[in-house]
Structure 1
Amino acid sequence: MINLRSTPIPFFLLLFLCFRQIAFAQEPTSNAKIIAQYDSVRTVAPREKIYVHLDKAIFAPQDTLWFKAYLVDATTNVFSKVSGLIYFDMFDANGTLIETICVPTAMGVAWGGIALKPDAYKAGSYTFRAYTNWMQNFGDAYIFKKEIKILDFIKDENVYQLDKKPLPTPRKISARTIEKSKDIDIQFLPEGGNWKADRMQKMAFKAVNYAGKGIEVTGEIFDSKQNKILDFKSNNKGMGYFMMVPILNEAYTATINSTEITKTQNLPKLASSGAFLQVNNSYGSDGLAINVDSDLPEQEITMIGQSKGVACFTAKFISGKKYKTVYVPKSLFPRGICQILLMDGKNRVLNERNFFINRSQDLIIQPSTSTSVYGLRDSICVNIQASDFEKKPISGTFSVAVTDDNQIQKDSLNDNNILSHLLLASDLKGEIESPGYYFNHFDEQKHNDLEALVLTQGWIKYNWELDKRPLFKAEKEFTISGRVTNITNKPAINGQILLLGMKKPISIMETRTDSNGVFIFRDFPVLDSAAFVVQAKNAKGKVGTLGIELNEFQSAPFLMTAKNNLTNYEETLDSISKQFIAAKNEEYEASFKSGIILREVKITGKKTIKGSKNLNGDGNADITLTEKDLDKVAKKTLGDVLKENIKGLHESVKPKTGFQLYKVNGSIFKMIIDGVEVDYFFTNFDPTSKTEYLQFIKSYFDYYNAEDIKGIEIMTSGKNVNNYIKQYEDPFTVETYVFVEVTTRTGSGPFLRKSSNMFKYNPPAYGDNKEFYSPKYTDQNKGNKKPDYRSTIYWNPHILTNEKGIANFSFFSADKKGFYTVWIEGSDMNGNFGMKALKLEVK
């Protein structure tokens, strides 16, 4: 047996000694080659991890979801230098993408909010995701996901209530289906992947119920003669393991018992030959005892200890020799999920064994208050002292969510947090129940439960084919880029590219294409719901026959999770959700009774156009032509429809200039198509021509037929015109205008076939300037009658501790008595992170 104990020996010398003692005179260069390959993979395909702290997971209609993201290097947990942008998606229960926003990072952190607008976010379940474009190269495993719920309310006399619509009539469920729902799925997984006869070996198991959740079981193991070999018992998450020495040519069965069912299942078949691997990861021990047993025909076997894409040690030996035990110090491995692999001479994995290395390296976060009990609308100040695991003060970035326990349930002992995600959940496949449990007061029981978890759950591999080219680029900043070609599909060299922002104030950027016809725009300010028009001209400034290919962002594919079809017809609310609804009811009832909010005024008879970009809101126009109206005149041109419905629309001449245009009586006619003013696309090729603009507008009149259009809204009165003047014209103009908003069926905007040199681009909203509103109560306003039943009492994503590790924040309590949870987590973004929860009482 070889003993490699933890000593001050330098790391690479230790690797060399390991190799020399185990490899039986192999050349050290082969060992270095393995290490070099691992390093190359991390260089070519570095991994990123992301954790997102949300203020809560259940919401009311019109709430805002607040978040802070921590983006780190997957190997070191230091802030990632690969990406500078993070994408945040919201998907509904059907897998439909509702919204994507893009937020820049600074030293790996980013924060913002998503307004849950009722027209886009109906009551139901949603999946919140966060990832970088670079992460898409490695599949779905690295994407951060969190299920959230928007609870179902109806508004009646300005009071929000639990929706009392009758539930759908439950389907008639067969007795066979009900019986099936009681079934248990249990897997028996021998350590290392192979079950070796005549060796003491660990057998792990995991039992789940019909809904895929862990279920506590007990059981017995019997041989073929029904002799009981041993008893076993799972933990409360359905996982566990037992030790036994199986006998060759014997068959074993397990009898499994739960509260509802007893079943029998065969254990895996025994293997008489092959390579076998055992890892003794004892609690409190500073080393691993690795047992290797191989009777394969004489060949070279490679053992690799790895973690997160780093080769921590390697060793080689010749198979067919005697049973071997290797002692390796745990100090060779970083904290978190690690693996021992056995590989044959062709680099095929023979066995793999997961294990978890835990060390007390969390940041120590110590929040304190002057008292633990406060009154209603009281000022609460929280002081934070942050230090590293050696109790040295540390500068770090932290996020804080304070929530009302009456409405939001947070379990600081079991819920996922920055520790459990970055150290555990992000490196294992599948769902982990109560991930925070494993990091709360770590002891031998939690160590054993972690052993059961990693023995039964697959790990996310970091391997990568070095000749494989990543499909998705690492984005350092927000850019708009593309390629311009001419009619023969050759690159348009030195072409003039204009980028027009579609929001006030109108922004214009200009660049040139390179020798490949490629262009790029950089250095964007924060943009919210931005839209752009990209226009290309050739080197002489002419439109010519150019085409634009834009590099548009594509959201990562969304993988639907199969649901239990026995219960998905009915959504059951837990007690906390019901309290959340009750609090909203109480808030709106109190507001109504105090006269603070007005009784709902119902406006009937308004015509609305689905998908309209009307700046005045749905149905606010002087004349509205709906799809039904337009179907009656389907073959008429847009120009004919407008002339028939706008009295006074005519061709006119602008005084002093002689330029021709359209007017409605004395007001200038302006047309908006799908939220884009057509004037953006007018190019005055002949400054002496008086009719060019008029002909330009006519081209749109003639291009569209009524059947191409979903609706037309005509703004003539001051109240409906004002918002359009602010958006598209000089607000101090003395001119008067009539605006026409046209909504097409395609929604593609005012792009004619002959205008292929133009491209409308709607990127994800870039950046976010939303701030959480936290009321401040003074002697003057503390007694106002407006009820305050916030569920999120306070949210702050950007708390920085100074060089002494100190920071503080303050907020005011609301109007409900009970307890608050103050949830703090964060990182120094240099590889260390921590979490702490504090309870406060409000009387």
Structure 2
Amino acid sequence: MKKLLLQCIPLFLLLTTALEVFPQQNKVIINQLAGRLNTYTDSLALASVYLKTSKDVYESQEDLWFKAYVLDSQYHNLFSIDKTLYVRLVKAGKDSVVWEEKYPITQGVVSGHIYLGQSLPEGDYYLSAYSAHSFYQNQSYFHALKMIKFIKETRSLLKEKPARIPGDANLPQDIQFSILPEGGQLVSGITNTVAFKAVDKNGKPVVVSGELLQENLPVTTFKSIHAGMGSFYFKPVPGANYQVRLIRPKSDRLYPLAAIHDKGVILHLAKNKKDSLIFNIVQSAGSAKRPVYLRVQVRGRIQAVAAAMLGDSLKITIPTADAPQGIAEVTLFDQEMRPLAERLVYLNPDNALNITASLSREVYKTREKISLKIRTSDKNGKPVQASIGVNVYDKLYHNPEDAKDILTHYYLSTQLKGRIYDPAYYFDAGNKDRNEALDLLLLTQGWRCYLWNEDELKEFKNRKQVLTDSTKGRLIAVDVKKNKPKIQMLMVFSTDEREKRSLFTDSIGRFALAPGDFVKGRWSYLKHFDVGKAEYMVAVEDQFKEIGNVSKNILFEYPVGEKATAEKENDIPPGRISMGAINLNEVKVVAKKQNVFRDKYMGHLDSLAKLEGNTDFVYPNSNWLNVPSGANGTKPIEGQKYTIWVGATPPTKAPFSFGTGDFKEIIYHYPKFTEEELLKKFNLTRIKGYYEKREFYQPNYDKESDPLPDYRNTLLWAPVMITDKNGEATLNFFCSDINSNFIGTVEGVGSNGLLGKKEFYFNVIK
């Protein structure tokens, strides 16, 4: 076997000097293989969003605190382009949206909260977040999705849960058994590596063992190693028929192998070392020598391109010490740049943001002060300044079934297609077989499964960006025959009217509200100043509606439930409104069967409308309402009793006579206006801005004493912190009156794109 040790040259292009082809031609092909991928990625501004919540399980009338990282999807640095995060909370199984709000992004970080009201049904929910450069049509990998459990009472968490045995063999026989050859194909006459994966109908792994049959005779046996996955080796005989039979769980079904090729090339990973990858490349006996090219790329970034002459076999060693952590796509090409074989490999799992979280001890008393010391460094122990978030909560509110974290999200979920069972397993240093298990995970993904392959990257150029940071609108003339100016002016202002500015449309009435227009309150108002007799309508886009439309047609990592029927398209732009009547759903507080305006400014408009638009009057020195010659009377009072005329012929002047059937007494109420009527009356349009920020409450028992019970189950929520130049930070917080086991998590992003996570635990006793 010919051995080649490749050395790096500029631009991470690797070129062997022992080639039996024209060097210049070889350089051209290498540059083309690298440049072809760079063409798709160099100008790609693609963000990836990750969500972290203060805990996993919430109760009624609690705040759900969350943090979002918006990172560059290739380099994992904080993404500063996007300014608005769109957040939704959806009920699982019903696909019903219970929360939709916008939050400002500050240098790639968002901190916010969601109030979970008492009327919210119990069950599972999915919290999702989207930014302008993370959400495109027909793709679902770069926006965030987090599973949330909502309960009414804590006692449901205290019930003993049955032990869950991953991969229990006592399952129905409807097992999905996949067989995937390394490199993408089976070739006769060569030893092939074959991976397999067994799951049940719900996608849960199944522990299996079985045998490979050649013409119904056993050739080799195998068993799963991790999460229903495993592998075996065999050398196919030309023309033979191969099938797999499962022994455990016992099944009469036979699973055929993929087609076996008489001629071809095998790409086999011999070793994945800390600083290099060693590949064996073998082609069918009798095949002519030919040049081959091995390309290694991580998230669309070329790490190496190697060229060599392939005879019967070839060994290639590729240095990887300077490559980033993550999944690498290794593709073998021929001289025509056609892919011959492909394999996924995980690089540099130790190249991470190392986080230490130190407590003075493991047991504390209720209301005792805790000091947490945090340090962030690289793999060599050198300090790294990092953006981190910290949360501490009662372990009772932890959901072990949702092991998603910053590492699994950015290194696995956003890189591979399909669901991944227990992704945290592959990043737990306590699992000694995690690297072997991770390699099996990548082997069982199939051909072209990597999100960053060329086919996927080509499509990004044609994919429409769904969201923008700004909110677009348009003034539309109701009667186009009437004279109207080409440019109109609007006034945009906050609810307290302290922040206001002029907003001009273009020649066809279009305008846009930038993120800066939403920083002074949850609502912004637009007032249109009519010119002459021209009448206008206002169309305002609803970007949440666009999110809903796209989300119905793409596959999420978590199942979102039944898909609702899409609304029929029409000629009216999304969010079109008549002047002042907007189609956003405002939350109302219901009491005594009357709608009460939650927004103070709307309540102010309601009061003005009742005073200015009310023509009712009370005749002087009487309780008659709206009788002749009483126009100079006083205004009626809400809730007072008055007399009104109900006879057939209303009097036209006073004094007048009346019979017993000509009048009746009523309790007076002012006219009731809907929000749409109020907005129209005052020539206003209301647009939802950023959701208002709240501070997480933390007591300081060093400075204050509180005789009331302290039942906080979340002791610390510090979502936005930056370690100093020494990579250090210190946090102080206090225990509550709950004696329980607590779990803490520190997650962060280093200035060099390193990602890290650390958990710590302690007990609180009385």
Superposition deviation, residue 356 in structure 1: 0.8
Partner of 2:661: none
User: Which amino acid in the other structure matches residue 526 of structure 1?
Assistant: V
Superposition deviation, residue 116 in structure 1: 1.2
SS at match of 2:31: helix
Partner of 1:530: 523
1:770 and 2:758 aligned: no
Structure 2 vs 1, CA of residues 405 and 278 (structure 1 numbering), >3 Å: closer, same or farther? same
Partner of 2:419: 431
Native 8 Å contact 2:6 2:317 kept in 1: no
Q: Within 1, Cα distance between the matches of 2:436 and 2:189? A: 25
Superposition deviation, residue 774 in structure 1: 2.1
User: Which amino acid in the other structure matches residue 496 of structure 2?
Assistant: K
1:306 and 2:297 aligned: yes
1:449 and 2:437 aligned: yes
Structure 2 vs 1, CA of residues 489 and 542 (structure 1 numbering), >3 Å: closer, same or farther? closer
Q: Within 2, Cα distance between the matches of 1:293 and 1:640? A: 94
Superposition deviation, residue 256 in structure 1: 1.8
Superposition deviation, residue 26 in structure 1: 1.6
Native 8 Å contact 2:636 2:668 kept in 1: no
1:482 and 2:473 aligned: yes
Structure 2 vs 1, CA of residues 641 and 652 (structure 1 numbering), >3 Å: closer, same or farther? closer
SS at match of 1:419: helix
Q: Within 1, Cα distance between the matches of 2:335 and 2:686? A: 53
Superposition deviation, residue 264 in structure 1: 3.6
Superposition deviation, residue 141 in structure 1: 2.0
User: Which amino acid in the other structure matches residue 116 of structure 1?
Assistant: L
1:830 and 2:762 aligned: no
1:132 and 2:119 aligned: no
Correspondence for 1:796 among 705, 713, 718: 718
Structure 2 vs 1, CA of residues 545 and 343 (structure 1 numbering), >3 Å: closer, same or farther? farther
Structure 2 vs 1, CA of residues 73 and 614 (structure 1 numbering), >3 Å: closer, same or farther? closer
Partner of 1:498: 490
Correspondence for 2:342 among 333, 352, 375: 352
Partner of 2:464: 471
Within a 5 Å distance, the mapping from 1:533-682 to structure 2 comes to: 533=526, 535=528, 541-542=531-532, 544-546=534-536, 548-553=538-543, 554-555=546-547, 557-559=550-552, 607-609=592-594, 613=597, 648=625, 664-665=635-636
Structure 2 vs 1, CA of residues 371 and 613 (structure 1 numbering), >3 Å: closer, same or farther? same
Native 8 Å contact 1:61 1:116 kept in 2: yes
Structure 2 vs 1, CA of residues 641 and 429 (structure 1 numbering), >3 Å: closer, same or farther? farther
1:242 and 2:232 aligned: yes
Partner of 1:113: 113
Q: Within 2, Cα distance between the matches of 1:3 and 1:493? A: 77
Q: Within 1, Cα distance between the matches of 2:308 and 2:483? A: 57
User: Which amino acid in the other structure matches residue 608 of structure 1?
Assistant: K
Deviations 1:803-826 (A, max 9, x none): 222211122112232321111111
1:88 and 2:87 aligned: yes
Deviations 1:206-243 (A, max 9, x none): 111232111221222222142x2222111241111112
| TM-score, length basis structure 2 | 0.76
Structure 2 vs 1, CA of residues 490 and 435 (structure 1 numbering), >3 Å: closer, same or farther? farther
Native 8 Å contact 1:302 1:345 kept in 2: yes
SS at match of 1:421: helix
Native 8 Å contact 1:399 1:798 kept in 2: yes
1:364 and 2:354 aligned: yes
Partner of 1:99: 99
Partner of 2:570: none
Native 8 Å contact 2:376 2:383 kept in 1: yes
Superposition deviation, residue 297 in structure 1: 10
Q: Within 2, Cα distance between the matches of 1:773 and 1:759? A: 37
Partner of 1:48: 47
Structure 2 vs 1, CA of residues 310 and 490 (structure 1 numbering), >3 Å: closer, same or farther? farther
Q: Within 1, Cα distance between the matches of 2:221 and 2:617? A: 84
Q: Within 2, Cα distance between the matches of 1:211 and 1:41? A: 36
Superposition deviation, residue 450 in structure 1: 0.7
Q: Within 1, Cα distance between the matches of 2:61 and 2:69? A: 26
Structure 2 vs 1, CA of residues 774 and 27 (structure 1 numbering), >3 Å: closer, same or farther? same
Structure 2 vs 1, CA of residues 780 and 834 (structure 1 numbering), >3 Å: closer, same or farther? closer
Greater share of helix: 1
Q: Within 1, Cα distance between the matches of 2:225 and 2:182? A: 18
Q: Within 1, Cα distance between the matches of 2:14 and 2:223? A: 40
Within a 5 Å distance, the mapping from 1:253-332 to structure 2 comes to: 253-258=243-248, 263-283=253-273, 286-291=276-281, 293=283, 303-315=294-306, 322-331=312-321
Structure 2 vs 1, CA of residues 384 and 642 (structure 1 numbering), >3 Å: closer, same or farther? farther
Native 8 Å contact 1:496 1:510 kept in 2: no
Partner of 1:193: 184
Q: Within 2, Cα distance between the matches of 1:3 and 1:381? A: 56
Deviations 1:348-373 (A, max 9, x none): 65532111112422222222222221
Q: Within 2, Cα distance between the matches of 1:288 and 1:200? A: 17
Structure 2 vs 1, CA of residues 615 and 447 (structure 1 numbering), >3 Å: closer, same or farther? closer
Structure 2 vs 1, CA of residues 820 and 29 (structure 1 numbering), >3 Å: closer, same or farther? same
Deviations 1:53-74 (A, max 9, x none): 2111211111111111112111
Structure 2 vs 1, CA of residues 460 and 23 (structure 1 numbering), >3 Å: closer, same or farther? farther
Partner of 2:60: 61
User: Which amino acid in the other structure matches residue 109 of structure 1?
Assistant: V
SS at match of 2:439: helix
Deviations 1:624-668 (A, max 9, x none): xxxxxxxxxxxxxx999999xx9957999999xxxxxx984279x
Structure 2 vs 1, CA of residues 445 and 347 (structure 1 numbering), >3 Å: closer, same or farther? same
Deviations 1:431-473 (A, max 9, x none): 2222222122277621111110011123223543389455227
Partner of 2:659: none
1:398 and 2:391 aligned: no
User: Which amino acid in the other structure matches residue 533 of structure 1?
Assistant: L
SS at match of 2:203: coil
Partner of 2:161: none
User: Which amino acid in the other structure matches residue 235 of structure 2?
Assistant: V
Structure 2 vs 1, CA of residues 21 and 134 (structure 1 numbering), >3 Å: closer, same or farther? farther
Structure 2 vs 1, CA of residues 383 and 614 (structure 1 numbering), >3 Å: closer, same or farther? closer
Partner of 2:38: 39
Structure 2 vs 1, CA of residues 501 and 286 (structure 1 numbering), >3 Å: closer, same or farther? same
Q: Within 2, Cα distance between the matches of 1:715 and 1:809? A: 60
Q: Within 1, Cα distance between the matches of 2:410 and 2:61? A: 31
Structure 2 vs 1, CA of residues 73 and 292 (structure 1 numbering), >3 Å: closer, same or farther? farther
Superposition deviation, residue 257 in structure 1: 3.8
Q: Within 1, Cα distance between the matches of 2:408 and 2:671? A: 56
Q: Within 1, Cα distance between the matches of 2:142 and 2:495? A: 35
- Percent of matched pairs sharing the same residue: 22
Native 8 Å contact 2:19 2:309 kept in 1: no
Structure 2 vs 1, CA of residues 275 and 260 (structure 1 numbering), >3 Å: closer, same or farther? closer
| TM-score, length basis structure 1 | 0.70
SS at match of 1:135: coil
Structure 2 vs 1, CA of residues 128 and 787 (structure 1 numbering), >3 Å: closer, same or farther? same
Superposition deviation, residue 751 in structure 1: 4.7
Gaps of 5+ in 1: 154-159, 164-178, 569-604, 617-621, 623-637, 656-661, 668-713, 717-737
Q: Within 2, Cα distance between the matches of 1:528 and 1:715? A: 36
Correspondence for 1:819 among 729, 741, 744: 741
Gaps of 5+ in 2: 158-169, 563-589, 601-605, 607-612, 639-666
SS at match of 2:128: strand
Native 8 Å contact 1:650 1:665 kept in 2: no
Correspondence for 1:218 among 209, 213, 220: 209
Superposition deviation, residue 606 in structure 1: 6.3
Structure 2 vs 1, CA of residues 789 and 750 (structure 1 numbering), >3 Å: closer, same or farther? closer
User: Which amino acid in the other structure matches residue 57 of structure 2?
Assistant: I
Q: Could you tell which deviates more after superposition, 191-200 or 771-780?
A: 771-780
SS at match of 1:740: coil
